[in-house]
Amino acid sequence: MRSALPPLDLHAHIDAGVPPDKLPSLGAVVFAATRSLAEARTVLQRQDDLVVWGVGSHPGVARSHSSFDPAAFRALIGQTALVSEFGLDGGAKVPLERQQQTLREAATLLSEWPS
Is 1 a residue whose pLDDT tops 60? no
Q: 2 pLDDT exceeds 70?
A: no
Parse the chain into domains and list their residue ranges.
8-112
78-114 pLDDT per residue, tens: 999 899 999 999 999 999 999 999 999 999 999 998 8
CB atoms within 10 A of CB 113: 11
* Global pTM value: 0.89
Class of domain 8-112: alpha beta
C-beta contacts of 77-80 below 8 A and 24+ residues apart? 77/109, 77/110, 77/113, 79/44, 79/55, 80/40, 80/44, 80/52, 80/53, 80/54, 80/55
Q: List, for residues 8-66, the tens digit of each pLDDT value.
A: 999 999 999 999 999 998 889 999 999 999 999 999 999 898 999 999 999 999 999 99
Report pLDDT for 5.
81
Q: What is the pLDDT, as a whole number, of residue 115?
A: 65
Nearest by Cα to 14 from 63, 48, 59:
48
